[in-house]
Amino acid sequence: MHTGYEVLLGCLVAAVIIGFVVIYCHIRRRTRKIKSSKRDIEVGTASVEYEEVTCKQMSVKEIYAATENLHLSNIIGQGIAGKVYKGMLANGWPVAVKHIIKNEHAETFVREVTSLSHVKHPNLVSLRGYCDGQEECFLVYELCVNGNLSEWLFGKDKSLSWTQRLQIALGSACGLWFLHIFPEGCIVHRDIKPTNILLGVDMEPKLADFGLSRVIDIGVSHVSSEVRGTFGYVDPEYRHNHRVNAAGDVYSFGMVLLQLLSGERAINIMNTAKPMSLDKMASLLIREGNVLEFADPRLKGEYSVDAFDLCLKLALSCTGHKQQRPSMEQVVSRLEKALEISMRDDDKRNNISMVESFA
């Protein structure tokens, strides 16, 4: 006859075995999903299903009807080129409408339409339509209901978990990789920053604002241009030599990744006498052996230390010398690895908690 102790021990062993089986199946399923996503990106297709939308020319009447005559209550943003309004098209699509004064920012309008009208990817904001008027023009995008990454990193009433941050970093990197290997020529965004990473219904990231983008023809290493972009995110080498290339986007992405890790601004303006960029701050903490001090306090220590270390080193390699920077393909691969490590560590913690609950 089995004693009560033996029965309890048997139940505990069975529970542990079942837990390991569930965890193993979960990891296998998530790993297959990640690998499938990578294969899809390599052949230039979407890794998730998304609506195929043709960008169409629209009338001023349609634009004003969608935004209630550009009503002030519908303003959801303000960019350099003009105000952004939320609206609803006649077919029921929720949209974001950018209003551009033509004589001041006509170049922005042309670049956005040229870049986004035929470039489709789940991690790029979709251009639904455009309106080219005599004095004003409009760009009509899909509406990303969760705003932009900056609001979530620096907003007082919002926060992102470690897994969400990794997924946002990975999705953004996938979008950039797609742009850099576009068959018709490398598309350099030139203004990667948190405000230009929009978040959809499920917090999926979508790169936006292609007003500064440039296309580099196949076989050409760079194009020369005046320095454009946002202070704190512009590649120092680009500022020096005025050469636009994919490495500049890699640098900007590295700064965004540092912000996802730390929750800090790109430039530490608290010390006005000697402001320090985020990459220099991270390098200093690494030299002092205080890597984990770089972590955003709002994470409350709930992250994988190994994955955090991997991401921090990746970010600093992105902001390092141009010749040593990884490609966006390599960035995607390392972020996938960080996500796998995090999932494995999460499953270990969950398994330990489950065992402790039976003890």
| Count of structural domains within the chain | 2
- Grade residue 109 by pLDDT with cuts at 50, 70 and 90: confident
Active site includes 191? yes
**Alpha carbon distance 272, 63 (integer Å):** 44
Looking at residue 31, what is its pLDDT?
47
User: What CATH number is associated with residue 156?
Assistant: 1.10.510.10
Instruction: Please determine, for residue 32, whether its predicted confidence score (pLDDT) is greater than 60.
Output: no
For residue 103 the two structure tokens come to: 């004589």
Domain, as residue range, for 68: 56-142
Examine the domain organization and report whether 239 and 203 are in the same domain.
Answer: yes
Looking at residue 39, what is its pLDDT?
39
Over residues 86-107, the mean pLDDT reads 88
**In sequence order, which ranges of the chain are alpha helices (DSSP H)?**
4-42, 60-66, 102-116, 149-154, 162-180, 236-241, 246-262, 278-287, 305-318, 328-358
- Grade residue 55 by pLDDT with cuts at 50, 70 and 90: confident
Cα distances from 145 to residues 94, 124, 200, 210, 277, in angstroms, run 9, 15, 6, 19, 31
Sequence-distant (6+) residues with CB within 8 A of 346 are 163, 304
From 191, 209, 249, 347, the catalytic residue: 191
- Grade residue 53 by pLDDT with cuts at 50, 70 and 90: low
Domain endpoint, select from 142, 173, 191 = 142
**Alpha carbon distance 197, 259 (integer Å):** 13
User: Among candidates 276, 264, 259, 143, which has minimal Cα distance to 198?
Assistant: 143
**Alpha carbon distance 40, 50 (integer Å):** 14
Instruction: Please determine, for residue 275, whether its predicted confidence score (pLDDT) is greater than 50.
Output: yes
- Grade residue 346 by pLDDT with cuts at 50, 70 and 90: confident
Comparing 356 with 303, which gets the higher pLDDT?
303
Examine the domain organization and report whether 190 and 209 are in the same domain.
Answer: yes
Examine the domain organization and report whether 291 and 156 are in the same domain.
Answer: yes
Q: Residue 146 has what DSSP assignment?
A: T
Examine the domain organization and report whether 158 and 124 are in the same domain.
Answer: no
Comparing 281 with 30, which gets the higher pLDDT?
281
Burial of 112 by CB count in 10 Å (0-12 exposed, 13-18 middle, 19+ buried)? buried
3-state secondary structure of 333: helix
Check: CB of residue 317 under 8 Å from CB of residue 325: yes
- Grade residue 278 by pLDDT with cuts at 50, 70 and 90: very high
- Grade residue 40 by pLDDT with cuts at 50, 70 and 90: very low
In a domain, 250, yes or no: yes
In a domain, 169, yes or no: yes
Instruction: Please determine, for residue 123, whether its predicted confidence score (pLDDT) is greater than 70.
Output: yes
Domain endpoint, select from 102, 127, 142 = 142
In a domain, 115, yes or no: yes
**Alpha carbon distance 351, 42 (integer Å):** 35
Instruction: Please determine, for residue 203, whether its predicted confidence score (pLDDT) is greater than 70.
Output: yes
Tell me the pLDDT of the chain averaged across its residues. Answer: 83
Examine the domain organization and report whether 177 and 259 are in the same domain.
Answer: yes
Examine the domain organization and report whether 210 and 300 are in the same domain.
Answer: yes
Among 65-69, 290-294, 347-351, the range of highest mean pLDDT? 65-69
Over residues 67-80, the mean pLDDT reads 91
Q: Residue 325 has what DSSP assignment?
A: P
Examine the domain organization and report whether 168 and 312 are in the same domain.
Answer: yes
Examine the domain organization and report whether 84 and 225 are in the same domain.
Answer: no
Give φ, ψ of 341 to 5 degrees.
Answer: -60, -45
Instruction: Please determine, for residue 47, whether its predicted confidence score (pLDDT) is greater than 90.
Output: no
Domain endpoint, select from 95, 125, 142 = 142
In a domain, 102, yes or no: yes
**Alpha carbon distance 234, 192 (integer Å):** 9
- Grade residue 267 by pLDDT with cuts at 50, 70 and 90: confident
In a domain, 101, yes or no: yes
Check: CB of residue 213 under 8 Å from CB of residue 111: yes
Examine the domain organization and report whether 311 and 170 are in the same domain.
Answer: yes
Examine the domain organization and report whether 192 and 332 are in the same domain.
Answer: yes
Comparing 125 with 228, which gets the higher pLDDT?
125
User: What CATH number is associated with residue 65?
Assistant: 3.30.200.20
In a domain, 34, yes or no: no
Over residues 42-57, the mean pLDDT reads 52
Examine the domain organization and report whether 268 and 160 are in the same domain.
Answer: yes
- Grade residue 349 by pLDDT with cuts at 50, 70 and 90: low
Q: How many helices (H) and strands (E) does the chain have?
A: 10, 14
Over residues 108-129, the mean pLDDT reads 86
- Grade residue 317 by pLDDT with cuts at 50, 70 and 90: very high
Sequence-distant (6+) residues with CB within 8 A of 242 are 224, 225, 226, 227
- Name beta bridge partners: 207: 124, 197
Examine the domain organization and report whether 241 and 173 are in the same domain.
Answer: yes
In a domain, 39, yes or no: no
In a domain, 94, yes or no: yes
Over residues 315-320, the mean pLDDT reads 97
Looking at residue 341, what is its pLDDT?
96
Report percent pLDDT > 90 for the chain. 57
